[in-house]
Amino acid sequence: MQMSPTLISQPVFLNQGEVEQKRQEIKAYFNQTWENYESLFETLVSDDTFYLRPCSLRHPLIFYFGHTATFFTNKLVLAKLLPQRINPTIESMCAIGVDEMSWDDLNDAHYDWPSVAAVRAYRNEVKAAVNALIDQVVFSLPIDWQSPMWPIMMGIEHERIHLETSSVLIRQLPIDQVKPHPLFPICADQQTAAPSNRLLAVPAGEVKIAHQDPAPHYGWDNEYGQHQANVTAFQASEFLVSNAEFLAFVEAGGYHTPEFWNEEGDRWRQFSPVKHPSFWVRKTEGGQQAWYLRCMTEEIPMPWSWPAEVNHLEAAAFCRWKAAQTGQPIRLPSEDEYLRLRDFSQAQQHLAQANINLQQAASSCPVTRCKQGEFYDVIGNVWQWTETPIHPFEGFKVHPLYDDFTTPTFDNKHNIIKGGSWISTGNEINGSSRYAFRRHFFQHAGFRYIASDAPVQKEFSTYETDSAVAQYCEFHFGDEYFGVANFAKAYADLAIGYAQTDADLAKREHLKVLEVGCSVGRASFELAKHFEQVVGLDFSARFINVANQLQTSGQLRYTLPIEGEIMDFKETTLAQLGLSEVASRCEFLQQDATNMKPIFSGYDMIVAMNLIDRLYEPKKFLTDVAARLNSGGLLMLGSPYTWLEEFTQKVHWLGGYKDAHSGENVTTLETLHALLSKDFEPVGAPQELQFVIRETARKYQHTVSQVTLWKKKA
Amino acid sequence: MQMSPTLISQPVFLNQGEVEQKRQEIKAYFNQTWENYESLFETLVSDDTFYLRPCSLRHPLIFYFGHTATFFTNKLVLAKLLPQRINPTIESMCAIGVDEMSWDDLNDAHYDWPSVAAVRAYRNEVKAAVNALIDQVVFSLPIDWQSPMWPIMMGIEHERIHLETSSVLIRQLPIDQVKPHPLFPICADQQTAAPSNRLLAVPAGEVKIAHQDPAPHYGWDNEYGQHQANVTAFQASEFLVSNAEFLAFVEAGGYHTPEFWNEEGDRWRQFSPVKHPSFWVRKTEGGQQAWYLRCMTEEIPMPWSWPAEVNHLEAAAFCRWKAAQTGQPIRLPSEDEYLRLRDFSQAQQHLAQANINLQQAASSCPVTRCKQGEFYDVIGNVWQWTETPIHPFEGFKVHPLYDDFTTPTFDNKHNIIKGGSWISTGNEINGSSRYAFRRHFFQHAGFRYIASDAPVQKEFSTYETDSAVAQYCEFHFGDEYFGVANFAKAYADLAIGYAQTDADLAKREHLKVLEVGCSVGRASFELAKHFEQVVGLDFSARFINVANQLQTSGQLRYTLPIEGEIMDFKETTLAQLGLSEVASRCEFLQQDATNMKPIFSGYDMIVAMNLIDRLYEPKKFLTDVAARLNSGGLLMLGSPYTWLEEFTQKVHWLGGYKDAHSGENVTTLETLHALLSKDFEPVGAPQELQFVIRETARKYQHTVSQVTLWKKKA
């Protein structure tokens, strides 16, 4: 059986060609995508099937049938390319709920699904509107993120994703609800014997990505940015793990042996009713147990040479079993290791022979069929799980028309799959794409194992969404507003300037500085440019965690309110800040400024900015601070003196009141002099330092901190 | 008996002379004041008397004996002229509680008063310290508010005030606790017959004050600034009201006739145990009732020709009685009327003959003794109550070393007394001073009545101390911060510009504008420069009251936090803002923007700035607004889109969320277009307008409002 040429698509180049020719090319690509998607639903036996749920936590297929059209109208209205919605009723039902939902979101009483005919009519309306739009839209080449053609490409590629994910849902329907379809023929080679797998060497090498807009093809936000890694040498399995190879794990009791599962996997293992790959079907035939495989529209005797399809948890358990069996460090590859294997095997030069793009079959095929370099199926057949949770590359930005395509999955719970499957098309196989699913999820996905002693990073910095912490992340590491210089850097520079011009400190070596109230740590990092040892303390573990995470990972990501609950996604790195070299001089610890441990002593300088008016007993901090400084040490204080009972009982305010005895106004500056004069000499006049804290894109706190410098008496 | 020349003081000129000569002059003035004050306490029969309370709501005299010294140390420490306190224990007891206190402040258990000897020793220490300071302080002439000599003059003049008020307290002690003193002889002329009083004409005239720092003499904050009034002609009593003249009121049952008293006066009348002037003493002698007068150290048979000494409430009751008797508009003079009388009588040319400055006697004298022009005792003998509550002149500022000298009395409850008494000295009689007491208070004070039909202003704008309202007063009428132009003026100018450039509106006459959410009204006043009719609406009556008060009185005063609870006192006037001419075009009303009455219709323009994100149902306001505009009318909206559940339930937000149906981000700007497009055409691109709201001297909100303009379809 041959695949229909109508299903096979050609990648659309967005950075070359002529406008009118590109218009026709995109139009054809759109219509092919649209029609292929509709054809897929012809595998359902009746309209009633559209209303079955393939999975108890997913919408029925009617939702997905309407959804790809609704996505077009939503994005085109948002982009102001369509003046208004096309069918608000259907669109209100078919927009939200692509992924697993909670049971109460799916209460049928909430949904009065439209008829298949109605959705078909609606799809026709949207199709016509998009065709008209493609005919008329004014655009130029290259087509980049700002191009009006971008949201059209976005809609097309979105539908291509759903072509694949709907095929998985159809595969999860009862077998009597689906029927074979001439456009989607199963691979005929079902009885080839499975090979015995072996590990082949992949030499060390560099992996490098620098993906920028405009790019040759359409891409999702997570593909853009910079990435570089030096991958150590490892061995990779020649073939994807076949059903036969996986059977050994099943028969060895792998699903019943908790030791092969990590904690998350073991929870899933206990929850899961079946103790074998999800698409495997066990039948009793003439008193004999036999394994069958559920394909998209058919159930066939187990094709042992085809790739085993499992979720990440099952694949990882197999690897632990295999490692135990062999004594080798068997595991799944990381994203980088997969990319290194792909480069080394030159798999991308063999795309035309790979089982992808619906060009070979509408199913898997034997793992021995598609050779790419020394390996098989580096690209195609089924997706391959990696150990790497999806995370943004440096320079990541959301596209304003789709800010939640990837960001909700930056949670260390969605692992990257690579290589594509037989039904992966378009962006899915263009070489740049990065898709990720929850580790318990099923796709047309299997795995290849590797042997390597190299550690794998399984935790990436996530977006700090605690609004108070995120606000301070932007305050310390983000943009400047109203022309006011970054405050933390400014006061660190001021402190360094003081230390450099103090005749006494200028002579000392191995200077130690303590920052009390360091918040998320920017100034402490900056102080490390001059001081050999920097200790940053903050009362809030949430803030200290950010500083520690930035120090450890070199990266920081946080969300920032634009308007109401609409968020921007921001990131920074120590490298961008020019702090990579000195960050290791810092240590960040949680500590109460009014009750610090004696160990925090022996500093040449102590910096406490915007601290005293947030302490519950500021006097205690100030009377205690001299003992923590070396003789002749410097104390730098800064505060806007914003006394609030919320933080400091009035009886503990240092200023901003009339004295109960004298009746005179007491300012904080006066009290500072009164409290510190025993141990310190004031140095110079107070300085004024502005700072701006962003609350939303339009609302800011703009404050003036008063900075005073004090030299400890000898 | 002659007054001792040691008691009579000469005014110190601060704007002329040589430094060393001035130093000696001030030193002599200080020591005279100090010693006179101590002499006054020699009228007490024993040290025990120091611990009696002359009034149940006042401290004992020991407090006042120590207080004038403590005041010096407090102010000199505050001014950094003294390095530290002199006796913290005594100073902690003798600083606070000059005025009436509540009973629980006076619980004796709270006070362990020092001995008289201890206070005397303390006074000597302070005296020596101040003398040393006067010897050493570096100053130049003129001595102004910034001069280091100013706090020294402040301490001296403060003690001179207490010389007088302590004499009143001594007068309130039991007669057996006091004794005559050769330095303070009573006036011998006690039996002169009282004159019959009569009204003499005072022609109309202007009263004008423009008192600036530096001035010739020391002054308290309330004396400075600009003031001008045109006083209509009136008649004034030739003499102060004598005891004889007042007796007629007592005997007519004045104290028992509620009709002669206003509400406040009647409350006092019912509370007061005695139904005659406070210093009158009724005795029975040989079966005969006889009146005596309690003077400072003696009780003497009633000197009927001496001025009656009463509080303001009694004086005003007398006037009402007198008016009823005579059918004439008898009342107390206003401050301006007193000043006009003083100018007309040229009383200040007769100071040497007036019963002031302890130059005539240590008591009142007959009202017939001191002629000044056609009148008697325009200055001197006893203070004269006016109808005018103390209020700041335009340009009022507090002195930073004494911000609560006057400001707590700007409450319409403290009435101005003028003219001075026999024991008034220094600043009290320099011609500029303005003292005020609560209307039920007793001083060496009486009154002169006038006949006039002119109305008297008895309510002055007080300082807006509601912190939210005061914050908006500064926002609308105060200073600019961080170089950001006044927001209310800026958007009013923008609105006027729009109205002027709109081809349609430019042709119309009698333009009407509605400002919804006008707050304290600045923009509405500004809009009146172009629009003939301006209606300003706000949901908050507190805000609308400010706008109305400013429109009515032309003045606005408010307090502004500097640091914690330390306040600045600010004022503005329509004249300063250039709005006097147009303010009458405005009308300010309380109204709910989401439920406005139909009457608010027929406008050529509607302005609603920073409103929509504070409404509980903004959609209602926006869908309703078109009907309130004339055809072709303009709608100007501005907002930072700061949506908060505190003000607007999330279900009513216009933007800043992901749509529940489409899952797409919804911005407020998009929703504005969606809601307004039926009735309006957008005009031009949105404008960005910054604003800054001061919270303290160091902390501000800095926000960017987005301004959109909409033209109602014809």
Asked if residue B36 belongs to a domain, the reply is yes
- Lowest average pLDDT, out of A97-106, A250-259, B151-160, goes to A97-106
pLDDT for B203 equals: 98
Kindly state the tokens that stand for B593. 């923007």
Q: What is the C-alpha separation between A610 and A707, in angstroms, rounded?
A: 9
pLDDT for A58 equals: 84
pLDDT for A467 equals: 84
Give whole-number Cα distances, B416 to B243, B434, B569, B691, in Å: 22, 7, 20, 41
| Distance of residue A101 Cα from the nearest chain B Cα, in angstroms | 14
Which of B566, B658, B702 lies closest to A656 in CB terms? Answer: B566
Residues of B whose CB is below 8 A from A656: 562-566
Q: What is the C-alpha separation between B165 and B167, in angstroms, rounded?
A: 5
pLDDT greater than 90 at residue A513: yes
pLDDT for A100 equals: 67
Kindly state the tokens that stand for A567. 């968020």
CA-nearest of B239, B238, B303 to B277 is B303
- Which A residues in the span 501-560 are in contact with B, Cβ-Cβ below 8 Å? none
Q: What is the C-alpha separation between A330 and A453, in angstroms, rounded?
A: 9
Higher-confidence residue of A196 and A467: namely A196
pLDDT for A708 equals: 98
Q: What is the C-alpha separation between B196 and B239, in angstroms, rounded?
A: 9
pLDDT for B625 equals: 96
Q: Which residues pair with A683 in a beta bridge?
A: A709
Q: What is the C-alpha separation between B217 and B166, in angstroms, rounded?
A: 23
Which of B564, B660, B668 lies closest to A563 in CB terms? Answer: B668
Q: What is the C-alpha separation between B709 and B407, in angstroms, rounded?
A: 44
Residues in chain B: 714
Asked if residue B336 belongs to a domain, the reply is yes
Q: Name residue B662's amino acid.
A: S
B530 with B655, same domain: the answer is: yes
Which of A642, A667, A702 lies closest to B482 in CB terms? Answer: A702
pLDDT greater than 70 at residue A567: yes
Asked if residue A674 belongs to a domain, the reply is yes
> Is B664 at the interface with chain A, CB within 8 A?
yes
Does the beta-carbon distance from B565 to A698 stay under 8 Å?
A: no
Q: What's the mean per-residue pLDDT of chain A?
A: 94
In the listed set B177, B210, B226, which residue is the last one of a domain according to the structure?
B177
pLDDT for B104 equals: 54
User: Rg of the Cα trace of chain B?
Assistant: 31
pLDDT greater than 70 at residue A105: no
- Are A369 and A189 in contact by the 8 Å Cβ rule? The answer is yes
CA-nearest of A395, A365, A384 to A434 is A384
pLDDT for B691 equals: 97
The conformation of residue B426, written as its DSSP 8-state character, comes to: G
Residues of A whose CB is below 8 A from B562: 656
**Domain total in chain A:** 3
* Mutant choice from A646, A661, A691 vs B, greatest count of B C-beta within 10 A: A661
Residues of A whose CB is below 8 A from B677: none
> Is B474 at the interface with chain A, CB within 8 A?
no
- The model's pLDDT over B514-530, given as tens digits with 9 standing for 90+, comes to 999 999 999 999 999 99
pLDDT greater than 70 at residue A104: no
B511 with B614, same domain: the answer is: yes
Which of B70, B566, B657 lies closest to A665 in CB terms? Answer: B566
Does the beta-carbon distance from B663 to A74 stay under 8 Å?
A: yes
A475 with A584, same domain: the answer is: yes
B428 with B486, same domain: the answer is: no
Does the beta-carbon distance from B641 to A564 stay under 8 Å?
A: yes
B529 with B568, same domain: the answer is: yes
Q: What is the C-alpha separation between A348 and A430, in angstroms, rounded?
A: 9
Asked if residue B4 belongs to a domain, the reply is no
pLDDT for A664 equals: 87
CA-nearest of B602, B591, B505 to B544 is B591
Give the CATH number, domain containing residue A76: 1.20.120.450
A484 with A615, same domain: the answer is: yes
Asked if residue A115 belongs to a domain, the reply is yes
**DSSP H helical segments within B108-148, as ranges?**
116-136
Chain centroid to Cα A48, Å, comes to: 38
The 3-state DSSP class for residue A396 equals coil
In the listed set B420, B451, B482, which residue is the last one of a domain according to the structure?
B451
Handedness of CA B291, B295, B298, B303 (dihedral sign): negative
Query: Which structural domain range is residue A678 located in?
Result: 467-712
B511 with B558, same domain: the answer is: yes
pLDDT greater than 90 at residue A234: yes
Asked if residue B457 belongs to a domain, the reply is no
A521 with A604, same domain: the answer is: yes
pLDDT < 50 regions, chain B: none
Q: What is the C-alpha separation between A505 and A634, in angstroms, rounded?
A: 9
| Distance of residue A567 Cα from the nearest chain B Cα, in angstroms | 9
Q: Kindly provide the residue ranges of all beta strands, DSSP E only, lying in B610-698, ordered along the sequence.
A: 629-639, 657-658, 665-666, 680-694
Give the CATH number, domain containing residue B686: 3.40.50.150
B410 with B480, same domain: the answer is: no
In the listed set B416, B451, B486, which residue is the last one of a domain according to the structure?
B451
> Is A678 at the interface with chain B, CB within 8 A?
no
Asked if residue B122 belongs to a domain, the reply is yes
Helix axes A263-271, A312-326, angle to 10 degrees: 110
- Which A residues in the span 32-91 are in contact with B, Cβ-Cβ below 8 Å? 70, 74-75, 77-78, 91
Does the beta-carbon distance from A643 to B563 stay under 8 Å?
A: yes
Higher-confidence residue of B140 and A398: namely B140
pLDDT for A17 equals: 94
Which of B75, B655, B664 lies closest to A564 in CB terms? Answer: B655
Which of B658, B668, B700 lies closest to A702 in CB terms? Answer: B700
- Determine how β-strand B629-639 pairs with β-strand B699-712: antiparallel
Give whole-number Cα distances, A75 to A80, A156, A178, A564, in Å: 8, 11, 32, 20
Asked if residue B456 belongs to a domain, the reply is no
Find the residue in B nearest to A649 (Cα).
B564
| Distance of residue A696 Cα from the nearest chain B Cα, in angstroms | 8
- The model's pLDDT over B646-693, given as tens digits with 9 standing for 90+, comes to 889 999 999 999 888 888 899 999 999 999 999 999 999 999 999 999
| Distance of residue B479 Cα from the nearest chain A Cα, in angstroms | 16
Find the residue in A nearest to B567 (Cα).
A656
Percent of the residues in chain A that have a pLDDT greater than 90, as a whole number = 81
* Long-range contacts at A368-372 (CB < 8 A, ≥ 24 apart): A368/A192, A368/A195, A368/A239, A368/A305, A369/A189, A372/A345, A372/A346, A372/A347
Does the beta-carbon distance from A663 to B96 stay under 8 Å?
A: yes
B164 with B281, same domain: the answer is: no
Helix axes A116-136, A19-40, angle to 10 degrees: 170
pLDDT greater than 90 at residue A395: no
pLDDT for B103 equals: 53
The complex scores an ipTM of 0.75
A98 CB-near residues (< 8 Å, 6+ apart): A64, A67
Give the CATH number, domain containing residue A408: 3.90.1580.10
B151 with B242, same domain: the answer is: no
B440 with B477, same domain: the answer is: no
pLDDT for B462 equals: 77
